[in-house]
């Protein structure tokens, strides 16, 4: 369980203060899959870094499994509970060999070497990278590097995983693979927080936070958010293709039910139009 109470973050600099999070209140249940979307600079990454106490609140609080991140003595347990996967896979790689990279986080936890090996093997298998375990990470593609980063988090066995635009630098195939992995982790019971600029990806979550100017301006299901074609336009986002197409067809006097989100739903509605 995650709970934020009037969570505020201000970056202080010589050129003035920047309010990046402006009093957020929300809670996320264990096992939920929440996507976070929002324009550039709306505060998504700043929020991401509060989930594992990489940043601490300027004001207000965030609790991770009941642990207040602003209490020094909680930091270690918070970080043990929350895995992070960032945008740039190169900046996440720390070792010269894939399996050492996946093991890195575990070595700091004081786990016995044979247990580490077992967990690393399982994690590499989970991301389909077993064949690459003795490779140099810099020989891998961007998508493969991201899978290694995810394996590192899987090996840590954290309950919560935060992804900050993990697919931003990948091709469509790489993006699909990462999203499949995210969905699998969710199905296994992990709490997933998934930041993305791709609306089709966010549409796969159970719940979407829409951020603007350091605030969560909408907290709703993907269906409610993405079928609000006007709001998507205002923000300069592409609504998922089926939602957009349904809206265009309605303008051409097709009688379609409201809030169509997926291609399957659109196809079905069109067939009924005869």
Give the x/- contact pattern for ligand ATP in 2-41, rule: CB under 6 A: ---------x-x----x-x-----------------x-xx
Of 212 and 247, which has the nearer Cβ to ligand ATP?
A: 212
Of 16 and 189, which has the nearer Cβ to ligand ATP?
A: 16
Of 45 and 70, which has the nearer Cβ to Mg ion?
A: 45
Of 18 and 223, which has the nearer Cβ to ligand ATP?
A: 18
Question: Considering the rule CB under 5 A, would residue 45 count as an interface residue with Mg ion?
Answer: yes
Q: Residue 207 belongs to what H/E stretch?
A: strand 207-212
Question: Considering the rule CB under 5 A, would residue 130 count as an interface residue with Mg ion?
Answer: no
Helix (H, G, I), strand (E, B) or coil at 232: helix
| N-terminal to C-terminal alpha carbon distance within the chain | 47
Q: Which does 46 bind (CB under 5 to 8 A by kind): Mg ion, ligand ATP, none?
A: ligand ATP
Of the candidates 88, 62, 87, the residue with the CA atom closest to the CA atom of residue 195: 87
Of 13 and 134, which has the nearer Cβ to ligand ATP?
A: 13
Question: Considering the rule CB under 6 A, would residue 238 count as an interface residue with ligand ATP?
Answer: no
Helix (H, G, I), strand (E, B) or coil at 167: coil
Helix (H, G, I), strand (E, B) or coil at 218: strand
**Strand 33-38 and strand 191-195: pairing?**
parallel
Q: Which does 11 bind (CB under 5 to 8 A by kind): Mg ion, ligand ATP, none?
A: ligand ATP
**Strand 2-13 and strand 59-64: pairing?**
antiparallel
Of 67 and 168, which has the nearer Cβ to Mg ion?
A: 168
How many residues touch ligand ATP (CB under 6 A)? 12
Question: Considering the rule CB under 6 A, would residue 43 count as an interface residue with ligand ATP?
Answer: yes
Residue 41 beta carbon to ligand ATP: minimum distance, rounded to whole angstroms: 4
Q: Give the interface segment with Mg ion, choosing from 45-53, 61-69, 96-104, 168-176 (CB under 5 A).
A: 45-53
Q: Check: CB of residue 63 under 8 Å from CB of residue 222.
A: no
Helix (H, G, I), strand (E, B) or coil at 49: helix
What is the C-alpha to C-alpha distance for residues 147 and 123, in angstroms, rounded to an integer? Answer: 10
Question: Considering the rule CB under 5 A, would residue 88 count as an interface residue with Mg ion?
Answer: no
Token pair listed for 124: 């590499």
The number of C-alpha atoms within 13 Å of 84 and in the hemisphere containing its C-beta is: 20
Query: Tokens 């930091």 label which residue?
Result: 75
- Positions touching Mg ion (CB under 5 A) are 44-45
- Positions touching ligand ATP (CB under 6 A) are 11, 13, 18, 20, 38, 40-46
């Amino acid at each position: 369980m995650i709970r934020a109470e009037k969570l505020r973050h201000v970056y202080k600099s010589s050129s003035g203060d920047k309010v990046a999070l402006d009093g957020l209140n929300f809670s996320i249940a264990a096992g939920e899959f929440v996507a976070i979307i929002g324009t550039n600079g709306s505060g998504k990454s700043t929020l991401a870094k509060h989930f594992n106490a990489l940043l601490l609140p300027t004001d207000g609080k965030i609790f991770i499994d009941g642990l207040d991140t602003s209490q020094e003595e909680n930091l270690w347990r918070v970080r043990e509970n929350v895995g992070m996967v960032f945008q740039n896979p190169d900046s996440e790689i720390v070792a010269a060999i894939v399996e050492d990279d996946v093991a890195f986080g575990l070595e700091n936890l004081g786990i016995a070497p044979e247990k580490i090996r077992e967990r690393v093997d399982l994690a590499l298998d989970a991301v389909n990278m077993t064949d690459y375990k003795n490779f140099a990470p810099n020989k891998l593609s961007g998508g493969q590097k991201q899978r290694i980063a995810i394996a590192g988090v899987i090996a840590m066995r954290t309950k919560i995983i935060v992804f900050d635009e993990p697919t931003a630098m990948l091709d469509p195939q790489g993006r699909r693979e990462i999203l499949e992995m995210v969905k699998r982790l969710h199905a296994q019971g992990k709490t997933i927080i998934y930041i993305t600029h791709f609306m089709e990806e966010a549409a796969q979550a159970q719940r979407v936070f829409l951020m603007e100017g350091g605030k969560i301006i909408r907290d709703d299901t993907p269906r409610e958010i993405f079928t609000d074609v006007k709001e998507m336009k205002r923000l300069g986002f592409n609504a998922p293709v089926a939602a957009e197409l349904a809206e265009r067809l309605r303008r051409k006097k097709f009688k379609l039910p409201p809030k169509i989100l997926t291609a399957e739903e659109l196809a079905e509605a069109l067939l009924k139009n005869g």
